A and B are shown apart, each in its own frame.
Chain A
Amino acid sequence: MPRATIIRLAAAILVLTVVTSLAMVQVDWHGTAASEEAAPIDTLLEIVIVLSSLVFAIVMVMLGYSLWRWRAQPGDESDGEPIHGNTRLEILWTAIPTVIVLFLAAWSWFVIRDIEAREPEFMIVNVTGQQFAWKFQYPQQRGEAFEVPAAFESTELRVPTGVQIEFKLHSLDVLHSFWVPEWRIKKDAVPGITTRAVVTPNREGRYALVCAELCGLGHSTMRAPVFADSPEEWARWVAEQTGTKPRGGSAAGGS
């Protein structure tokens, strides 16, 4: 292939890659990020989007070019050039994708370690899924940044920001799955075992806990409200739930 053509094709690939990457990265794929875990996951997605744009651009440019350049004219009954292969090219397109995918796997491994790293202090919330509702139980516990003076249950999930929370997931009947999209963390609740998911919420707001494993008739409506509060607000809520004074704050007033 003449050098000029190679350069033009490479340029087309580069342009298409850049345009696709920019467009795709601009899209707010995940929506609101409300946990510490979200940032590395969202960054990883952006990286894979860029690399995917490159692969997609290569495929589309080469496909488009071939279809345009070597399209059969009506009545053309001839054969094409009998090119059987090119060993160097085949080695390249085996080795380079291998490197790319292993790079993605390696980066992913670092992200897993990052998002699942345990803080020395964390709060435990027991989550129980049952056809078709969620229940939350806060065991009595105490830490630097949080305190649950007495165990209590709730049908809404309220957590303080800035605290690592270990959700211990239980199911009383079939498989359910604990997912708060804004936190990017999901884990199945399995009858017979306790599974765990770790999240550090970092943005106040109201979210939804969605069941993400088919559990029967009420699967689409198995949701619970989720509130990420400031630690002070959360402490007031705990006080209300347990009928005690919030630590370090006034006893009066609700959230």
Chain B
Amino acid sequence: MPRALFGAVVGGAFGFGLVVALRAISGLEIFQTEQTGYPHLIVPAITAPFGFLIGLGAFTYWFSWAAGSPTVPDDHSDHGAHSWRDYFKFNTDHKVIGIQYMVTTLFFYLCGGLIAMLMRAELAQPGTQIIDPGVFNGLFSTHAALMLFVFIIPVFAGIANYVLPLMIGAPDMAFPRLNALSFWMLPIAGLLFIASFVVPGGAFDAGWTGYAPLSTGAPLGQSFFNLGVQFAGASSIATALNFLVTIITMRAPGMSFWRMPLLVWANFSTSLLVVSATPFIAGAQFMVLFDRALHTNFFDHLAGGDVVSYQHIFWFYSHPAVYIMVLPGFGIISEVISSHARKPIFGYRLMALALLGIVVLGFTVWAHHMFVAGMFSWLRVPVMVTTVLIAVPTGIKVFSWLATLFKGVIHLKSTAMLFALGFIVTFVIGGISGVMLGMVPIDIHTSDTYFVVAHFHMVLFGGSVFTVFAGLYHWFPKFTGRMYDEKLGRVHFWLTFAGMLGTFMPMHWLGMTGMPRRVADYAAEFAGWNLVVTISAFVLGVAQLIFIYNMAVSWKWGPRAGANPWRARTIEWLVSSPPPIFNFDEIPRVVGGPYEFGVPGARHAILAGEQEVTEVRESEPAVARE
């Protein structure tokens, strides 16, 4: 780490020096401080992160190989973490990387959440109290960028990084070095977003959507957004490649695709979305950065550019992005509900196909974010049709989870299960408002209002974040070898559930009756419900501190947990908690489906050294299908 920080300084100095030298040689003004310029700050913002990564050792093996030096294959001796210092290194163990991701993303969650508390404090009453409008615009922009790019998308990568290789019986991910590099690009992205607060002109303030031409003409902070997105995007794409190759090639013998747990299916589907869609946002942000710093004219209508095209390119990624933000969560919910209700997932095959259906349909709906944008009006109708159709595979999943509870043995004391059940309620509400927004005549009125804010928070918080909590509580014993405090967990759940409903339900009403979004102030008629929202948001915020306390204290001092406290069936539960450094002494053999609860004698996987049991033939299940 010290070498990495030194590398960052050297890299930054190199970039700065490069710009200064080139500009001096060319006879240009050395420190160009046009609003959209500052090349002497933008170039270091690119070279310092690379210096950091080089100093960290991220590229050492590849540099040696490229230079033709003899390369020593990684002996993975750095696997495992023995002290907190190990988490600040370039470590290729997927379990260490998983923890690094989870802790880093939760840190950014708290940053984004703090920003939200500031916003709600200002919005408690009409008029300007503590945050003036310029700062406010920066706050909601950074809130969203942090939450989306460096919390919700990568936290799922973190959970899956830890769990997935174990779940498929693999010793690690297919590309451990790439995995570590993916992780380290993430704090860089978050720091670039946060750094925008201290550069001339302040934080980027054109929203996380960064529409041109507001973004192309904005101060320097916007360029930091453009760059941060590149690092977050590169991290995401590399991880997705890693997951795809790992899932396709490294499943344990006997694990056909139709015997994969749904978490694996979910990450497989998500990774397909990530690799194909993310390049589009990289492109859109590069185009804005180039318009700003290099005077290209992609979005400058006076020079022949096309303003609306930004939105097409941006949303072509950002709509699939929202499925990237929720599909892994669907996988988590399947794992949690089946284990904590002691039942096979109802309709497993259709559940897997529904994930793929969402992937395909997800690419056809982007223009529903643009129904009032002034694009060609004929496009609205086919996009409306595909948009409402996405409710079908999503509905299939909700109904299947409900059916999985049917005739189960439902453990309501488990916090993971509570979040999974709460998720069903809040996600259905969010899904319903989504269908409403998909209907053009309703969207014409509600677009860019608090109704939209309500919808996406219901599906992102009540949806994705609840699944994150469900997953973290469910696998906490596996990660740490200790149990968390279940009572505190329940308090966290109920306060979060109530706080969440109190914060976001009134927003449906506010939007419908005329309150636009992204406003630092509003008409007096909206004051009452805004106060209710703010108070609920404060409750919601405080509840998250209970979670952090529980996680931190239990990790250090919680009672020891066994290998399988939930008596679940997937492979990660067959090894110790935490798992051995190299996962398995010998790769396990998969002999049945992952959710055969209630089937006497059924096994999903056998570890080496166990007695062979009669393989349960799936064509003759112990209990006939209803």
Write the nearest CB–CB distance from A9 to chain B, whole angstroms.
11
For chain A residues 214-250, which have a beta carbon within 8 Å of chain B? Answer: 214-221
Nearest B residue to A86 by beta-carbon distance? B626
- In this assembly, does B21 line the interface, its C-beta being within 8 Å of a C-beta of chain A? no
Nearest B residue to A211 by beta-carbon distance? B516
Q: From B22-30, B276-284, B464-472, B517-525, give the one contacting chain A.
A: B517-525
B391 touching A217, Cβ below 8 Å? no
Which of B408, B436, B441 is within 8 Å of A66, CB to CB?
A: B408
For chain B residues 305-348, which have a beta carbon within 8 Å of chain A? Answer: 305-308, 341-344, 346-348
A193 touching B435, Cβ below 8 Å? no
* Known A-B contacts A80-B343, A101-B388, A109-B381; A89 and B403 likewise in contact (beta carbons under 8 Å): yes
Q: How far is the CA of A5 from the CA of B513 in the complex (A)?
A: 41
- In this assembly, does A22 line the interface, its C-beta being within 8 Å of a C-beta of chain B? no
Q: How far is the CA of A45 from the CA of B445 in the complex (A)?
A: 11
Q: From A56-64, A122-130, A134-142, A155-163, give the one contacting chain B.
A: A56-64
Q: How far is the CA of A220 from the CA of B409 in the complex (A)?
A: 52
* Known A-B contacts A45-B436, A217-B134; A212 and B421 likewise in contact (beta carbons under 8 Å): no
A217 touching B440, Cβ below 8 Å? no
| Chain B, interface residues (CB within 8 Å), range | 35 or more
A190 touching B448, Cβ below 8 Å? no
Contacts of A149 in B (CB 8 A): none
B626 touching A83, Cβ below 8 Å? yes
15 A-B residue pairs with CB within 8 Å = A30-B445, A30-B512, A80-B409, A80-B598, A83-B626, A84-B344, A84-B621, A93-B396, A111-B440, A174-B211, A175-B214, A179-B448, A182-B514, A214-B211, A215-B214
- In this assembly, does B93 line the interface, its C-beta being within 8 Å of a C-beta of chain A? no
Contacts of A216 in B (CB 8 A): 137, 205, 214
Which of B211, B622, B625 is within 8 Å of A86, CB to CB?
A: B625
- In this assembly, does A71 line the interface, its C-beta being within 8 Å of a C-beta of chain B? yes
Contacts of B342 in A (CB 8 A): 72, 78-80
B306 touching A192, Cβ below 8 Å? yes
- In this assembly, does A204 line the interface, its C-beta being within 8 Å of a C-beta of chain B? no
Which of A27, A70, A108, A208 is within 8 Å of B408, CB to CB?
A: A70
A59 touching B428, Cβ below 8 Å? yes
Q: How far is the CA of A112 from the CA of B344 in the complex (A)?
A: 45
One digit per residue, 1 when the CB lies within 8 angstroms of any chain B CB and 0 when it does not, for chain A 163-182 equals 00000010001110101011
Write the nearest CB–CB distance from A153 to chain B, whole angstroms.
23
Contacts of A45 in B (CB 8 A): 436, 442
B597 touching A80, Cβ below 8 Å? yes
From B396, B400, B441, residue with most partner A Cβ within 10 Å:
B441
- In this assembly, does A94 line the interface, its C-beta being within 8 Å of a C-beta of chain B? yes
Contacts of A97 in B (CB 8 A): 391-392, 395-396
- In this assembly, does A13 line the interface, its C-beta being within 8 Å of a C-beta of chain B? no
For chain A residues 61-95, which have a beta carbon within 8 Å of chain B? Answer: 62-63, 66-67, 70-72, 76-86, 89-90, 93-94
Contacts of B389 in A (CB 8 A): 98, 101-102
Contacts of B206 in A (CB 8 A): 214
- Interface, chain B (partner A; CB < 8 A): 133-134, 137, 205-207, 211, 213-214, 217, 301-302, 305-308, 341-344, 346-350, 372-374, 377, 380-381, 384-385, 388-389, 391-392, 395-396, 398-400, 402-403, 405-412, 421, 424-425, 428-429, 432, 435-436, 438-442, 444-445, 447-449, 509, 512-514, 516-523, 567, 596-599, 621-623, 625-626
A108 touching B441, Cβ below 8 Å? yes
A59 touching B412, Cβ below 8 Å? no
Write the nearest CB–CB distance from B42 to chain A, whole angstroms.
22
From B448, B516, B518, B519, residue with most partner A Cβ within 10 Å:
B516
4 further A-B contacts with Cβ under 8 Å, apart from A52-B436, A72-B411, A101-B391, are A72-B409, A85-B349, A94-B350, A175-B307
A112 touching B380, Cβ below 8 Å? yes
- In this assembly, does A188 line the interface, its C-beta being within 8 Å of a C-beta of chain B? yes
A177 touching B372, Cβ below 8 Å? yes
B623 touching A82, Cβ below 8 Å? yes
- In this assembly, does A104 line the interface, its C-beta being within 8 Å of a C-beta of chain B? yes
Q: How far is the CA of A173 from the CA of B214 in the complex (A)?
A: 8
Contacts of B406 in A (CB 8 A): 62, 66, 70, 83
Describe A's contact surface by its main secondary structure. mixed
A217 touching B410, Cβ below 8 Å? no
Q: How far is the CA of A153 from the CA of B513 in the complex (A)?
A: 30
Contacts of A219 in B (CB 8 A): 133, 137, 518-519
Contacts of B598 in A (CB 8 A): 79-82
Which 10 residue pairs of A and B lie closest in terms of their CB atoms, listed nearest first? Answer: A192-B301, A82-B598, A220-B519, A80-B408, A181-B514, A195-B374, A101-B388, A79-B598, A66-B405, A80-B343
Contacts of B439 in A (CB 8 A): 44, 48, 104-105, 108
A83 touching B407, Cβ below 8 Å? yes
A174 touching B213, Cβ below 8 Å? yes
For chain A residues 22-54, which have a beta carbon within 8 Å of chain B? Answer: 27, 29-31, 40-41, 44-45, 48, 52
Nearest A residue to B429 by beta-carbon distance? A56
B513 touching A30, Cβ below 8 Å? yes
Write the nearest CB–CB distance from A119 to chain B, whole angstroms.
18
Q: How far is the CA of A90 from the CA of B346 in the complex (A)?
A: 9
Nearest B residue to A111 by beta-carbon distance? B441
Write the nearest CB–CB distance from B127 to chain A, whole angstroms.
11
B448 touching A177, Cβ below 8 Å? yes
Q: How far is the CA of A11 from the CA of B599 in the complex (A)?
A: 34
- In this assembly, does A148 line the interface, its C-beta being within 8 Å of a C-beta of chain B? no
Contacts of B133 in A (CB 8 A): 217-221
- In this assembly, does A10 line the interface, its C-beta being within 8 Å of a C-beta of chain B? no
- In this assembly, does A15 line the interface, its C-beta being within 8 Å of a C-beta of chain B? no
- In this assembly, does A147 line the interface, its C-beta being within 8 Å of a C-beta of chain B? no
- In this assembly, does A251 line the interface, its C-beta being within 8 Å of a C-beta of chain B? no
* Known A-B contacts A44-B442, A48-B442, A86-B625; A214 and B518 likewise in contact (beta carbons under 8 Å): yes
- In this assembly, does A18 line the interface, its C-beta being within 8 Å of a C-beta of chain B? no
* Known A-B contacts A48-B442, A71-B410, A112-B380; A214 and B626 likewise in contact (beta carbons under 8 Å): no
One digit per residue, 1 when the CB lies within 8 angstroms of any chain B CB and 0 when it does not, for chain A 183-202 equals 01111111111010000000
Nearest A residue to B300 by beta-carbon distance? A192
Q: How far is the CA of A116 from the CA of B378 in the complex (A)?
A: 12
A85 touching B444, Cβ below 8 Å? no
Contacts of A213 in B (CB 8 A): 211, 448
Q: How far is the CA of A179 from the CA of B513 in the complex (A)?
A: 12
Write the nearest CB–CB distance from B527 to chain A, whole angstroms.
14
Write the nearest CB–CB distance from A1 to chain B, whole angstroms.
9
Contacts of B432 in A (CB 8 A): 52, 55-56
Which of A78, A90, A174, A187 is within 8 Å of B374, CB to CB?
A: A187
Write the nearest CB–CB distance from B118 to chain A, whole angstroms.
16
Nearest A residue to B338 by beta-carbon distance? A80
Which of A27, A70, A89 is within 8 Å of B409, CB to CB?
A: A70
B381 touching A112, Cβ below 8 Å? yes
Which of A30, A90, A210 is within 8 Å of B350, CB to CB?
A: A90
B440 touching A29, Cβ below 8 Å? no
Contacts of A29 in B (CB 8 A): 509, 512-513
- In this assembly, does A115 line the interface, its C-beta being within 8 Å of a C-beta of chain B? yes
Contacts of A190 in B (CB 8 A): 307-308, 373-374
Nearest A residue to B141 by beta-carbon distance? A214
Write the nearest CB–CB distance from B501 to chain A, whole angstroms.
14
A191 touching B441, Cβ below 8 Å? no
A66 touching B625, Cβ below 8 Å? no
Q: How far is the CA of A161 from the CA of B513 in the complex (A)?
A: 22
Nearest A residue to B216 by beta-carbon distance? A174
* Known A-B contacts A80-B342, A84-B625, A175-B211; A59 and B518 likewise in contact (beta carbons under 8 Å): no
Q: How far is the CA of A115 from the CA of B371 in the complex (A)?
A: 15
B347 touching A85, Cβ below 8 Å? yes
Nearest A residue to B304 by beta-carbon distance? A192
Q: How far is the CA of A159 from the CA of B449 in the complex (A)?
A: 25
Q: How far is the CA of A89 from the CA of B391 in the complex (A)?
A: 17
Which of A60, A90, A112, A217 is within 8 Å of B137, CB to CB?
A: A217
